[in-house]
């Protein structure tokens, strides 16, 4: 098996310190890598291939130098073994993996420029129309950054500002679809977030590349095919006797909390007002706090059992598959969607509803509830 070695390169002239180099020979190839760290040769052990004293540190004393060398060796070997499944890895790929590790430990100023800017977006540094971005939005930035890094590792594209073009767009969207198995709307969201970061890079004069503004560098969201429950159906669900099954009763109550407040299943409070009276009643039954939610996969499975037991068997509610009965179509997101649709039909202020659901525009909210298929009752009738 190939072995990683470290050695010093003798400094030119009278300068005493020497650069530390990593050397990795494999399959007739050789990687020589330096991350800019110098030491006095007197402090180096030629036998151990390490610094003599574990007290020697790097980056303002934050890391032991030998610890960094140990981790560099592990990163190099791990990268080699992972890439070997795709064929003998080029030296540039292993160097990229080592660079990524080093940049993580040097901090933002030393990070690759694109990822550095992503980190600033993730931190919430950039506001939206003078307001802080939601936690959900910041999480989406982090997710897109992770997707980009996975793409980098898998394709060896080494994405940065200068090589983001239509070729990148095609390769990246194909990767998200075929390798990460993302749905079309998730891919469209990734592209929107990337374009937001790239627009920020142009404004900050980090790049003059504006190919991301090309009319073909975009994806359009597909209409979401999902169901929502009417207030009558929610009431039927609340009256279903599940006293003999604690597991299903807790899932039902968590789902109802979402239907009443529009909040996540782990919470029961309306972020913009008092608790819903029916939500408060459910909370009282659990000592003031909602029960612990199972994993999303288990929750959806149990929820279908609950809705079937409640008799929600109407067919034709899911346009893409009208043969399914209603209980088969319900998921955890149905709770928030039901709250939003019922509240909109009841003429509650749209601005308040958008705060509860997290939508930034009326268009996005109305598309979420598929308002074009809902009919508001005529007032006075």
Percent of the chain past pLDDT 70, that is, above it, reads: 88
Q: What is the DSSP letter of 4?
A: E
Residue 109: per-residue pLDDT? 45
Any alpha helices (H) in the chain, and if so which ranges? 65-84, 91-106, 113-122, 135-155, 166-178, 184-203, 231-239, 246-261, 277-285, 296-309, 326-329, 333-345, 350-357, 362-368
CATH architecture of 231-373: Orthogonal Bundle (1.10)
pLDDT over 60 (residue 274): no
d(CA 138, CA 134): 6
pLDDT of residue 272: 42
Reading the block at residue 7, the tokens are 């050695």
Nearest to 356 by CA among 233, 280, 287, 262: 262
Tokens of 224: 């979401």
The C-alpha R_g of the chain, in whole angstroms, comes to: 28
Q: Quote the DSSP letter at residue 108.
A: G
Q: Comparing C-alpha atoms, which of 116, 123, 104, 124 is closest to residue 160?
A: 116
* Contacts made by residues 204-208, CB under 8 angstroms, sequence distance 24+: 204/117, 206/113, 206/117, 206/161, 207/161, 207/162
- pLDDT on residue 266: 45
Dump the DSSP string for 33-98. Answer: EEEEEEE-GGGEETTTTEES-TT-EETTTTEEHHHHHHHHHHHHHHHHHHHHTTSSPPHHHHHHHH
Nearest CA among 110, 109, 134, 107 for reference residue 121: 134
Q: For 322-338, what is the mean pLDDT?
A: 92
What is the location of CATH 1.10.150 in the chain?
112-213
Is 283 within 8 Å of 268 (Cβ atoms)?
yes
Rounded Cα–Cα distance for residues 361 and 284 (Å): 35
* Mean pLDDT of the 49-72 span: 77
Cβ neighbors of 371 (< 8 A, separation 6 or more) are 344
- Token readout for 86 is 């795709």
Of 225, 218, 259, the C-alpha closest to 368 is 225
Q: Domain 112-213 has what CATH class?
A: mainly alpha
148: Cα separation from own chain's centroid: 11
Examine the pLDDT at 378 and tell me if it is beyond 60. Answer: no
Mean of pLDDT values over 221-245: 88
Cα separation of 340 and 353, whole Å? 7
According to DSSP, the residues that pair with 33 across neighbouring strands are 22
Q: pTM, whole model, 2 decimals?
A: 0.49
Q: Which residue has the higher pLDDT, 58 or 65?
A: 65
Degrees to nearest 5, angle at CA 262 with 244 and 236: 40
Which part of the chain has CATH 1.10.443? 231-373
Q: What are phi and psi of 15, to 5 degrees?
A: -65, 125
Q: What percent of the chain has pLDDT over 90?
A: 41
How would residue 278 be classed by pLDDT, with cut points 50, 70 and 90? confident
Average pLDDT over residues 337-361: 87
């Amino acid at each position: 098996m190939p072995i990683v070695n470290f050695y010093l390169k003798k400094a030119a002239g009278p300068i005493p310190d020497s650069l530390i180099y990593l050397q990795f020979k494999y399959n007739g190839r050789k990687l020589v890598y330096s991350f800019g760290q110098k030491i006095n040769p007197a402090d180096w052990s030629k036998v151990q291939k390490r610094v003599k004293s574990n007290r020697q540190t790097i980056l303002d004393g934050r890391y032991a130098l030998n610890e960094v060398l140990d981790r560099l060796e592990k990163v190099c070997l791990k990268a080699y073994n992972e890439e070997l499944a795709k064929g003998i890895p080029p030296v540039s790929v292993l160097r990229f993996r080592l660079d990524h590790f080093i940049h993580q430990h040097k901090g933002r100023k030393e990070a690759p420029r694109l990822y550095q800017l992503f980190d600033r977006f993730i931190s919430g540094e950039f506001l939206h129309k003078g307001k802080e971005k939601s936690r959900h939005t910041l999480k989406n930035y982090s997710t897109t950054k992770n997707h980009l890094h996975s793409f980098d590792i898998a394709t060896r594209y080494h994405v940065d500002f200068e090589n983001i073009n239509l070729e990148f767009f095609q390769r990246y969207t194909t990767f998200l679809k075929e390798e990460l198995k993302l749905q079309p709307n998730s891919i469209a969201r990734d592209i929107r977030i990337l374009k937001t970061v790239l627009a920020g890079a142009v404004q900050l004069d980090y790049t003059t590349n504006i190919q991301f503004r090309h009319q073909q560098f975009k994806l359009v969201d597909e209409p979401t095919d999902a169901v929502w429950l009417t207030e009558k159906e929610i009431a039927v669900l609340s009256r279903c006797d599940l006293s003999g099954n604690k597991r299903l009763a807790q899932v039902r109550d968590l789902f109802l909390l979402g239907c009443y407040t529009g909040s996540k299943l782990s919470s029961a409070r309306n972020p913009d007002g008092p608790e819903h009276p029916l939500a408060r009643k459910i909370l009282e039954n659990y000592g003031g706090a909602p029960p612990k939610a199972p994993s999303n996969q288990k929750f959806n499975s149990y929820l279908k059992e609950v809705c079937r037991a409640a008799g929600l068997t109407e067919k034709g509610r899911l346009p893409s598959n009208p043969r399914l009965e209603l209980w088969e179509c319900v998921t955890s997101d149905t709770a928030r969607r039901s709250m939003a649709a019922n509240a909109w039909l009841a003429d509650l202020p749209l601005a308040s509803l958008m705060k509860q659901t997290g939508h930034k525009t009326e268009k996005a909210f109305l598309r979420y509830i598929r308002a074009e298929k809902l009919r508001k009752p005529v007032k006075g009738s």
